[in-house]
Amino acid sequence: MGNLFSSFDPSVSIMGTLLPMNWAAALIPVVLLPQVYWMVGSQVSKTFGMLMSYLETELSAVFGPLAMPGTFPVFISIFMFVIFSNFMGLCPYVFTSSSHLSMTLALGLPLWLGSMLWSTVFQFNSLMAHLVPSGTPGPLMPLMVVIESVSNIIRPGTLSIRLAANMVAGHLLLTLLGSQGPALSSFLLMFLMLALILLLMLEVGVACIQAYVFTVLSSLYLNELSSPAFNKTMV
């Protein structure tokens, strides 16, 4: 390892040639996930079924009974991909694709951009009215429009940075603590191993929580932007 961030380098040197082989780790969830559909009655399929039922319940609370067909599978697929990518990044010498903004932005930007374009084209007045909270004094309305517009624009960025930063922070802490092992005595090495095990357990929880937070916030942002246009279409 040349430096502290070399584990997050998206390119590896093979025979003197730089090839982006590390990104192949992002394909592992795509290969593993379809196996659930033909492993009938296995414990893995039951676990996935319970997890999908829980996610559908959470998404139903966000979108309500008038959710458009196909909405839930999209967000469940995003959750599965993110949590698999996070778990694969915890394995030694496996590239963490969810720690790069190029991956997290590719997941968070399309849904937000699509809903923004839909609201701008078909429901521009409702979108502008949504930028002004009810009860805002008249002189403050232009300022509130600017503040809410900036808040909406940076949403995909903050959503992506949150996921990437949390994954990078835990891996860097594991790398920093693990690099101190050769310089410690046998007695202190035992405490270091215990600390690394506890930190790894914490990282497993962070991987699950960040996948859930990414999915729920994406659904909340989509529901907030698309609900005016969708409600008018249903009426």
More confident residue, 13 or 224: 224
Euclidean distance between CA atoms 104 and 102, whole angstroms = 6
Q: Are 25 and 95 in contact (CB under 8 A)?
A: yes
Which of 207, 190, 211, 212 is CA-nearest to residue 89? Answer: 207
Residue 228: pLDDT band by 50, 70, 90 thresholds? Answer: very low
pLDDT tens-digit profile of 180-199? 777 777 778 888 888 888 98
Per residue in 85-129, pLDDT (tens digit) is 888 888 777 777 888 888 888 888 888 888 788 777 877 777 777
Q: How far apart are CA 118 and CA 231, in angstroms?
A: 13
Task: Look at the pTM and tell me if it is higher than 0.85.
Answer: no
**The tokens of 230 are what?**
């969708």
Residue 84 confidence (pLDDT) above 80: yes
In terms of Cβ atoms closer than 10 Å to its own Cβ (0-12, 13-18, 19+), residue 49 is: exposed
- pLDDT given for residue 3 in this prediction: 57
CA distance 35 to 85: 16
